[in-house]
Chains A and B, each alone.
Chain A
């Protein structure tokens, strides 16, 4: 418990955490409000509702970055020295960071759903645009689990690649920049198992049916990536030299 308290203190005692979460909510709120409020009703009925529920790529950007910062701040600012002096069993530190990443992903998911559903769905309802409640719930669950997993992915990636810039750029490249491009070359059959594509599958956007993995499989594949990275992060942190 001590190490968890310490890791949560590290998270909340820097402004970056609040800035990234605040920006995420602000952007998602603005986008949800503007699209549902200003878009043509016909367009909303036809196509845009599932996209709106999934949110913008900005959420991914902020959450992957937050996850990577949880791990890499230790090396970026040299606090790994004192952290590992107080807790020489380094794997405990990484496990605590993964737990913090889980909580950050969960909080981000709850905030996202609160803003997206509270603002977007209420505006849609007031404009008589129907939203299938089963679809909405499935998408929100997928988005929420996805947020938790990509935050964990960021934490684990940061534990393996301790260079902060490399971890953040690598994470964003995997989930944003390379999204869709790999599948162009190797096809959907293999491409849908890549991190970004498995996240899209997990989010459950109906437009991805047949191309992407279904929600459960997408979650399992992304979870497997996180697990593999976390194990690698635990191993290298335990054995690496802190210089």
Chain B
């Protein structure tokens, strides 16, 4: 059974469709990136998983059950939905103490998680004096209080400096390596591309894709780039073989070949004795692919 299951979930606020027939799963032992533009329905989905809002239809389940049915929620799911969700007048330690007390956890656990997120020196300072990065660490500490098997973090990299990003990546990878399911949302792929193993991409509340990070770049969908001294002849041959060929506007000796693998192009050229100086495929960046996938969906509904 998946750790988190979203099954045909729809959430409607009046005339606005926030989440539209969304289905995906999150498994143990991997970091799953929940990606989509701002307003695409990521936070709504996470709130539904956490029982804070009720889906209009469909299910959002933790270990196959609704959140409120969990016998020990804090030991099952640790979550941070917004690092700003802290009373600014409390110290970091007293904020965690209120949560630990409600969960029946000892004060020593508060000090442990403060140590884990390297916030011990600032534990007795009021949160209003914390930087955004420190608030993110405090939010992660709160999520870790119950030593949960599932970790759900909404935009945890927001406001982190490069050093903080690296720290977050290391700690999340370590937590997943311990067998936990980690779901982190982001609207900026580059923030999480070095952290996640799998991705769930949504746009306008609908699933765009779920799979491994590598699958986000579907190589064969991009054209092969061919440089040759006999482009006219090669173009005719390729088009006869069913390929769609365009030219790179900047250079006349370069063809962009769609619907053909590099092996097919190379073999065809060799059979006709045509020299090829360059044969590559522009894979693009993950960011390009992400924008391609989610861009057309938009995020305003």
Chain B binds chain A: yes
Query: Is residue B275 contacting chain A, with contact meaning CB distance below 8 A?
Result: no
Asked whether A82 and B101 contact (CB < 8 A) given A243-B47, A243-B53, the answer is no
The chain B residue sitting closest to A92, CB to CB, is B102
B216 adjacent to chain A (CB < 8 Å) = no
B190: CB under 8 A from chain A?
Answer: no
Q: Are B94 and A13 in contact (CB under 8 A)?
A: yes
User: Does any Cβ of A come within 8 Å of B34's Cβ?
Assistant: no
Max chain A C-beta neighbours (<10 A), residue from B52, B74, B84, B94 = B52
Given A2-B102, A13-B98, A86-B102, verify A73-B85 contact (CB < 8 Å): no
Contact of A73 among B79, B81, B87, B101 (CB under 8 A): B87
Tally of A-B residue pairs with Cβ under 8 A?
A: 84
Q: Which of A77, A86, A242 contacts B87 (CB 8 A)?
A: A77
What per-residue 1/0 map shows which CB atoms of B11-47 lie under 8 Å from chain A? 0000000000000000000000000000000000001
Task: Indicate if the CB atoms of A77 and B85 lie closer than 8 Å.
Answer: yes
- Determine whether B77 belongs to the interface, using a CB cutoff of 8 Å to chain A: yes
CA distance A46 to B270 in the complex (A): 118
CB–CB B86/A77 < 8 A: yes
The CA-CA distance from A13 to B86 in the complex, in Å, is: 12
B68 within 8 Å of A (CB atoms): yes
Asked if A9 and B52 sit within 8 Å, CB to CB, the answer is no
Bound complex: CA A10 to CA B67 (Å): 24
> Shortest Cβ distance from B101 into chain A, in angstroms?
4
Distance in angstroms between the alpha carbons of A243 and B84 in the assembled complex: 14
What is the chain B residue whose CB lies nearest that of A89? B68
Q: Interface code A223-243, partner B: CB below 8 Å = 1, 0 otherwise?
A: 000000000000000000111
Q: Is B73 part of the binding interface, using a Cβ–Cβ cutoff of 8 Å?
A: yes
A14 at the interface (CB under 8 A from B): yes
| Closest residue on chain B to residue A11 by CB atoms | B98
Contacts of B101 in A (CB 8 A): 2, 5-6, 9
* CB-based contact A2/B89 at 8 Å: no
Query: Residue B82 at the A interface, CB < 8 A?
Result: yes
**Complex Cα distance A79/B135, Å?**
13
**Dominant SS at the A interface?**
helix
Q: Please, which residues of chain A bring their CB within 8 A of the CB of B90?
A: 13-14
Q: How large, as a class, is the contact surface on chain B?
A: 20 to 34
B142 neighbours in A (Cβ, 8 Å): 82
Chain A interface extent, by class: 20 to 34
**Whole-angstrom CA separation of A118 from B164 in the bound complex:** 57
Other-chain contact of B82, A9, A73, A78, A85 (Cβ < 8 Å): A78
The reply to whether the CB of A42 lies closer than 8 angstroms to some CB of chain B is no
Q: Please, how many angstroms separate the alpha-carbon atoms of A2 and B100 in the complex?
A: 9
Tell me whether B229 is interfacial, beta carbon within 8 Å.
no
Give every chain A residue within 8 A of B89 (Cβ-Cβ): 13-16
Residues of B within 8 A of A82 (CB): 85, 99, 142
Give the most central of B77, B90, B91, B142: most A CB within 10 Å: B90
Complex Cα distance, B99 from A10, in Å, reads 9
B54 x A86 contact (CB < 8 A) = no
Which residues in B have their C-beta under 8 angstroms from that of A81?
Answer: 52, 79, 81-82, 85
A3 beta carbon closer than 8 Å to chain B:
yes
Q: Of B50, B70, B99, which one neighbours A6 at CB under 8 angstroms? A: B99
By CB atoms of chain B within 10 A, which of A14, A85, A86, A242 has the most? A85
Shortest distance between the CB of B122 and any CB in chain A (Å): 16
A79 to B252, CA, bound (A): 62
**Quick check: is B88 within 8 A (CB to CB) of the other chain?**
yes
Q: Do A84 and B52 have beta carbons less than 8 Å apart? A: yes
The reply to whether B53 and A85 contact each other, CB–CB distance below 8 Å, is no
User: What is the CB-to-nearest-CB distance from B124 to chain A, in angstroms, rounded to a whole number?
Assistant: 11
A83 proximal to B (CB < 8 A): yes
Contact with B along A117-157 (1 / 0, CB 8 A): 00000000000000000000000000000000000000000
A241 touches B102 (CB 8 A): no
Nearest 8 A-B pairs (CB), nearest first? A78-B85, A6-B102, A6-B101, A242-B52, A13-B94, A88-B68, A241-B53, A5-B101
Q: List 21 A-B contacts (CB under 8 A).
A: A2-B103, A3-B102, A6-B99, A9-B97, A10-B87, A13-B91, A14-B87, A15-B89, A78-B82, A78-B84, A79-B85, A79-B87, A81-B52, A82-B85, A84-B51, A84-B52, A85-B52, A85-B79, A86-B74, A88-B67, A242-B47
Binding site for A on B (CB under 8 A): 47, 50-54, 67-68, 70, 73-74, 77, 79, 81-82, 84-91, 94-95, 97-99, 101-104, 142
